């Protein structure tokens, strides 16, 4: 079913264990008002040829690119996502050595039936936001920032031994417990494979 909206854009800082490098997620915080989210995925692909034809094909997640259009990136959010510094006068200072820590990104997209599809991207490393500015002309044109990040799999394996990079669920699906939807932004969703 088609989506017709995007909102509730959150991020959750990640703390990594110094020895195991496994992630734990802090409480999600609203990032900004969402304008757009574009996710593209790159796959590692290999084909084994035998008996003059393709015998086996393997396609695995390599990484992705997330491009977010937002209404504004505040100073605290800029510091959390990109590693910039905020000085004593609350001025954002960008340095060539900046590099933010990865964060989890959550959002939801409204479907045409009024229900939502919810997402968590488990590990996103952002770069410096793009700034688009234009002079004021005869009509009003909004200029908003775009921030792009690389989506990675997380270090922490789930109970099935895999390293997830995304979780998504559709509100209203018969087998989805209501608590999964109601708790979506209270913490980053952890896969549940326990029987």
Parse the chain into domains and list their residue ranges. 7-182
pTM above 0.75, yes or no: yes
Enumerate long-range contacts of 142-147, CB under 8 Å, 24 or more apart: 144/35, 144/69, 144/70, 144/71, 144/72, 145/69, 145/70, 145/72, 145/73, 146/67, 146/68, 146/69, 146/70, 147/67, 147/68, 147/70, 147/73, 147/81, 147/82
pLDDT tens string, the chain, 195 residues long: the values are: 567 788 899 999 999 888 888 889 999 999 888 888 888 888 888 888 888 888 888 888 888 898 888 888 888 888 888 888 888 898 888 777 777 889 999 999 998 888 999 999 999 998 877 666 666 777 766 667 788 899 999 998 888 888 999 999 999 888 999 999 999 999 999 998 866
């Amino acid at each position: 079913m088609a989506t017709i909206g995007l909102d509730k854009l959150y991020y959750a800082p990640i703390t990594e264990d110094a020895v195991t490098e496994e992630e734990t997620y802090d409480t999600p915080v609203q990032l900004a008002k969402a304008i757009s989210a574009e996710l593209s995925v790159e796959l590692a692909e290999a084909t084994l040829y035998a008996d003059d034809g393709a015998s086996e094909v393997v396609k695995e997640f390599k990484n992705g690119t997330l491009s977010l259009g937002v209404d504004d990136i505040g100073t605290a959010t800029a510091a959390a996502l990109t590693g910039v510094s905020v000085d004593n006068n609350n001025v954002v200072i960008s340095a060539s050595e900046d590099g933010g820590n990865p964060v989890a990104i959550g959002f939801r997209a409204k479907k045409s039936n009024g229900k939502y599809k919810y997402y968590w991207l488990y590990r996103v490393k952002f770069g410096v936001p793009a700034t688009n500015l234009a002079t004021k002309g005869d009509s009003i044109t909004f200029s908003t920032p775009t921030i792009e990040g690389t989506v990675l799999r997380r270090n922490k394996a789930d109970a099935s031994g895999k390293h997830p990079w995304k979780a998504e669920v559709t509100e209203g699906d018969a087998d989805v417990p209501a608590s999964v939807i109601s708790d979506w932004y209270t913490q980053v969703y952890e896969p549940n494979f326990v029987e």
